[in-house]
Structure 1
């Protein structure tokens, strides 16, 4: 059977068009191409150690894979064809430091964008000061002789200022202020000294780049007889792009992109598919409508590999080097065609070539011929673009099976024009339920994870599905795949006719699709088999699991659930964890230890009868020696669990068995030999490989998630005002959990030096101040966090940072208003909102809420257990 794992995606690029919720995208690199240290022009080579350092630095906004991939793409063309960046006057006044820092990064890694700038706002100010009222006709500045003199002097001044700022950062920049654009009068009687560009002096630009300089151009032009003319900077950038034909055209914008009717940033626009639809929308008007039309006019004259990005100057690195991007990406794309019979294809030889082009093995032609023979006799539907850069073939449901994605093959050009996501969007519309398989060792499995609702792994294959919500159907699907593998997906006739001919090969080589925003962002977490899919919100429990635990070291047996022992189960957290384990399909609670409750029956656990025990350290050591337990959960007060942890260590020495320890206390949170288990901020692969995991504190989890996206923007120490319900004070009677004492009251405590203050400061790498309080409600924490900023930012800027940072995180919800404790109690995640900025734009207040017993303790513990034992991260957890 030809599976979707037989997919040729040799140059992954993806970004979903923003009509549905936006996703990420990636730009491709030709198969087999290795990243180069410098461009092919004569520009000076970048030192490899320096490049490595910069790659590492850029990895803070994206994964190392993303950074290397984009560098390889951008350096695959001559330096002058990398990018044209248009810089508006407002950027030069308000964001010049961010701009220069971003350009310095690009210069260091051997990339040479061509900068063309305007100075409109500054010109308006100078004209008003000179008593000249700015005049515009049809949006074009009317330029008389006096205005032209002011504009010329201003442009030279702004150009020199930008060049000097770049030189201060060690970037060689070349001011190119005259003779770059040839022009004729646009309409002298109507607009005066305004030019229409007729030519671009590419030689001067190429010479500057060859000598290692960033070319900095003004949007001034000259006629053949030497008359200077004013040209709109957007127009100048567009004409420059037409002459250069770069991979990227970047418009820097204070807003950071285009926004839809709901005020949400449009992640991407595929013009061939979306233009007519967009232009028919009521909200697409005025400046937005004009900008989209102008960009379409520009891209229609450029190669399909060229794209336009509208971004904030501070996000330039993220836009260029991550799959998710930061602003609005606009491409031409390709329209899709479809076929339901071989006769629908104009050229069968071309179809055969498409199927053969990624096929490995000497029998490729024979196998493809048999495949075409099968398609000629059976129903199918194919989806492809005109040049056949992308092809997907779906087999309809049969014999009680789901529809199957049998073939998906994408070329580099197909990825550059975003056809892959277009095809999958169409598949989701036309096939509400779909199944496909992919090789487990595929280096870019994340793209498929992002498309699926569930997955299961067997013998090197991963089966994915979406749209199947019935639990019995999912169980049967998993059972069939586990028993029969890939064969169960296809029609039996197909298997019998093609299996021998296809042997062990597939119709195409493994995919090289890149990670996308919906799965995390890649920018911040690696693709790991233990977290294999993006669960749709509102579907309740995740039911899928991985029957072959990854990494080859865990004890989650294929034939039995993981065996769990809970040490210290009397407290609230222990009770919540017991409840979660009771609903977990692949964990079995075997032992529960509590000195006070020893001999009593455990309530709330229905899988087996469990009696509380009073396990000693020696009991724990002997159980570890025998390999009785796969995971020990230490739910003891601070300073108590060390003898039990030491006992597990002793048992490990005398056995090949290596269990996992998850400690809920603070005892090992500062021990570097333990892994800190906050999956949203710590690489999941680290947790999946760990045997000793320290579970973060409840206050600390909410505080870190509330501050982490702004760490690079901190202008001082964040102050955290935290209030917890009295369950956070534990079950042992004290004034902090005495309801009578708390009624009409709030109790501050540990006003300096609280252990969570140290924990948050250590993990974030930045000092924080934490002031805890306890109030009369039972469960739930609220943080009000005051964060100083190192630059001026808006509330929208900050909210976008949080939305991008936590996109795809199922247990983190970014909201607009300040979240409320009553809305988080009993839920398994964190809500973050507020984002109110002071008048100066240099301080923001962020609010975060968390259920201290769930995501603050038991839920997070189960996330860590799932990852470490080889199960899906959210297994047994109702997602938000």
Structure 2
């Protein structure tokens, strides 16, 4: 585990970096005393600024999980301040993306992290030289810098440095320009390149002093000879040499492209050089600048600690790159060579192996348990996977004759193993050799998201989660799930636990409560013995060539983590009461529940249809009732219903909700029922959870007992605008057109086919309730103009979005693809989507991305089926989450 310095952690929590007095080294005692007092005063002022830091961390939590943010903050603060990161900023970034850069640096500063900035100014220099009538000249990619060019460059670099410093100070960041005395150089080749330098020495002292006094150091890439002659140095080279001297955890190259791309123009998420360098070099697309960049980074990392890594990232995505497992650009690290063994003897030193297996266990009999486990492995058909230092170790039991899946009996990973992504390499190797796998994890495991991303499916039993991948729905999966739930009702040694699967779990753990585990951030014991469950938001970073751990959710999975609340058991369906089933949405929901394995309709209420038999529902015969609020109160008191769905018109369902609430207060039960309201009655009530899983934290929905289902227009509009909220330069306008099913079954001009034929009917052109709903949820004002047309179901939005900066269509489309990567019910397309293609589908399509010639306005189109994802499908998503089932259980895929 990497050390976390307690004093630094306390300072971080207080909102300030710890300042270590060093002035005595540089000045007479009186000056030293004054300097120390100044720094102490500054430290105190930063310490009092806890509100700012808390706000920054809250924003970070919105781009990643709380676990990720805390883990990486601890990681970055485990080294001295100047060893956090060296960030190279190209001239194009200073020109085109200054605001994003300064915003990102301000985030880091206010959270207590001090990167060292090295910037260039190449494009600006080319422009100035051209304006001065000097044609830029290059030899072997290096600028020939004569005296005139050097004079222009020196003046330009000072101006660009000052511009960056001043902009940071406007954001409340103390920044110090350092334009000399850091890099000492000799002439690279004076005859060939003139005043171009090769760095021979790096003086860290100005950088260290700036940071200790609470400043971000901002360096130019100029160097000087021992005699004081200024020389031009490439900014990439300068950043690399500075990194060699400081040995930071991160070396960051800010890039307009935001990463490296493969032959299919797909961004490479991560590269592990030890495993992949030769393979990369052999790829036909790896040439020219990409090839050179990878080779230079490899050379740099070979001279840095193995814990260091290089990130190539767009400045706007710097926080996501630094504070989430998924990152946002391309992460390059040396990685760790993986070793494998099929016997304990092949794994070498038995005592070392025991120490690895013991390191995360907190039970008193840990060593005895490990001895029993190793005895169990003797003679078993298994394969172990591990790196040389054993930061990560996995033991996989091969399938028995009557099983079609392998079993992950042990997985132990240190904190540094998680942060250096050894875990991803390990799992990729396991998956390559094991087409199907089963394992278990404790419900309180801090890295559940990572396991969710690796699994196809899951099931919860108490505080244990069984995960699996590669096992198709059917008899084998059902048997496995039944065995897992049966295990929870049995004690060790009972006959129904004699399968190899369960014996491996028990022996590996010693008992049913203390499993073998990987090291968590909190260094708690965590159980990975054999069995399973599935993913939340966030994607574990994957290798460029390993199978990518998709964020998509299989229909047999459980995408919300177990919050210890109300997970449905495997052998009992949740009972649903549908209040108001006559409308189109009610009928659509009935169809979905009819094919859902874990929900069953118990009561269906409709005043007009009372006494008639419900058609289209095959699980059992249901007769429509006309339930009153009093009926509902009694049913809730008796615990007859698990999920109440209110499919009533606006303004009607309050008496039913009040009745359920009163009954809960009068007769509370552990497994609380859930209310999902499809009307607009509670969408503005802060005590209810807004049920849009793609934009609202799934964990909040999973814990909710009162969920307001979003409107159909509002769902599509929010999903289409949300990724650009931070880039808005004005009020978006949504031109929406719905099929006439959106007008309901009550006769009106808006669902009169004759009236609508050859027509389009505008209505509620201002202050529509969806206008308020969208604005309220996104936190920005929008205009909404609804219309109805002659088709039956489906909505089309054409949305005009002003931008606060110039952007390209490709930039915007990439933002949407990144935002919704892996979201099963959101599809980002190139062309404007069509209503006829979304009708009957369960998701949203977003496309168009037409950018005005100014680059400051984009038009985006979105389509949704108003009865499905706009109502019934979304309701089922919320029901699944709230009852602990797989979010997409019972929902057909879009394609």
State the shift of 1:120 in Å: 0.5
Give the corresponding residue for 1:296. 298
Structure 1 unaligned blocks of 5 or more: 1-9, 12-27, 525-532
> Could you tell me which residue of structure 2 aligns to residue 598 of structure 1?
610
1:677 shift after superposition? 1.5
Describe the superposition over 1:552-572 as per-residue Cα deviations: whole angstroms up to 9, x where unpaired. 468x57763222111211111
Alignment match, 2:352 = 350
Q: Given that residues 356 and 508 in structure 1 are in contact (C-alpha distance below 8 angstroms), is that contact kept between their aligned partners in structure 2?
A: no
Contact 1:271 1:330 in 2 (8 A): yes
Task: Indicate whether 1:280 and 2:285 are aligned.
Answer: no
Structure 2 CA distance for aligned equivalents of residues 127 and 549 of structure 1: 62
What TM-score does the superposition give when structure 2 sets the normalisation length? 0.89
In 1: Cα distance, 2:247 partner to 2:54 partner: 29
- For residues 504 and 660 of structure 1, the distance between their equivalents in structure 2, rounded to whole angstroms, comes to 30
1:738 aligns with 2:752: yes
Q: Which residue of 2 aligns with 1:5?
A: none
CA drift at 1:774: 1.6
Specify the alignment match of 1:777 in structure 2: 791
Of stretches 669-678 and 713-722 in structure 1, the one that deviates more from structure 2 is 669-678
After TM superposition, give the deviation of residue 650 of structure 1 in Å: 4.0
1:436 aligns with 2:444: no
Aligned equivalent of 1:18: none
SS in 2 for 1:377: coil
Task: Judge conservation of contact 1:688–1:870 (CA < 8 Å) in 2.
Answer: yes
Query: 822, 832, 847: which one pairs with 1:808?
Result: 822
Q: Is 347-356 or 761-770 further displaced after alignment?
A: 347-356
Q: Counterpart in 2 of 1:616?
A: 628
Distance change in 2, residues 1:74/1:405 (3 Å) = same
Mapping for residues 424-463 of structure 1, pairs under 5 Å: 424-463=427-466
How many angstroms does 1:220 deviate by? 0.9
Q: Deviations over 1:258-277 (max 9, x none)?
A: 12222222221111112222
Q: Tell which deviates more after alignment, 370-379 or 242-251.
A: 370-379
Asked if structure 1 preserves the Cα contact closer than 8 Å seen for 2:19 and 2:212, the reply is yes
Evaluate the alpha carbon distance shift between residue 506 and residue 549 of structure 1 in structure 2; reply closer, same or farther with a 3 A threshold: closer
Q: Give deviations 1:104-157, integer Å, cap 9, x for gaps.
A: 222222221111111111111111111111001110001111111111111111
**Aligned counterpart, 2:537:** 521
SS in structure 1 of the partner of residue 378 of structure 2: helix
Aligned pair partner of 2:136 in 129, 134, 137: 134
Contact 1:333–1:417 (Cα < 8 Å) also in 2: yes
2:583 equivalent in structure 1 = 571
CA positional deviation for 1:180: 1.5
Which one of the candidate residues 500, 503, 508 is aligned to 1:491? 500
Tell me by how many angstroms 1:640 deviates.
2.4
Contact 1:449/1:534, CA 8 A, preserved across alignment: no
Contact 2:485 2:570 (8 Å CA) reproduced: no
2:479 is aligned with 1:476: yes
Q: Which residue of structure 1 aligns with residue 312 of structure 2?
A: 310
- For structure 2, list consecutive stretches of 5 or more residues without a partner in the other structure: 21-38, 524-533, 541-548
SS in 2 for 1:59: helix
Cα separation, 1, equivalents of 2:6 and 2:817 = 33
Is residue 824 of structure 1 aligned with residue 827 of structure 2? no
Q: Which has the higher contact order (CA 8 A, sep 6+)?
A: 1
1:697 equivalent in structure 2: 711
Once residues 558 and 227 of structure 2 are traced to their aligned partners in structure 1, the CA distance between those partners, rounded to angstroms, is 73
The question of whether the paired residues in 2 share the 8 Å contact of 1:456 and 1:545 is answered with no
Distance 1:497 1:625, change over 3 A: closer
Distance 2:360 2:609 in 1: 64
- Asked whether the 8 Å contact 1:40–1:75 carries over to 2, the reply is no
2 CA distance for matches of 1:825 and 1:106?
46
1:347 positional shift: 2.7
- Alignment length (residue pairs): 840
- Asked if the contact 2:552/2:823 (under 8 Å) is kept, the reply is no
Match of 1:632 in 2: 644
Query: Secondary structure in 2 aligned to 1:262?
Result: coil
Whether the 8 Å CA contact 1:63–1:523 is kept in 2: the answer is: no
State the shift of 1:622 in Å.
2.8
Aligned residue number for residue 232 of structure 1: 234
Find out whether 1:668 has 2:682 as its counterpart: yes
Specify whether residues 448 and 496 from structure 1 end up closer, same or farther in structure 2 by C-alpha distance, changes over 3 A only.
closer
Task: State the partner residue of 2:887.
Answer: 873
Q: Which residue of 1 aligns with 2:387?
A: 385
Separation in 2, partners of 1:710, 1:493: 49
2:530 — aligned with what?
Answer: none
Distance 1:241 1:641 in 2: 63
| Superposed displacement of residue 509, structure 1 | 6.2
Measured after TM superposition, the shift of residue 175 of structure 1 is: 1.5
Q: Kindly indicate whether residue 427 of structure 2 is the aligned counterpart of residue 411 of structure 1.
A: no
SS at match of 2:166: helix
Identify which range, 582-591 or 643-652, moves more after superposition. 643-652
Question: Does residue 422 in structure 1 map to residue 431 in structure 2?
Answer: no
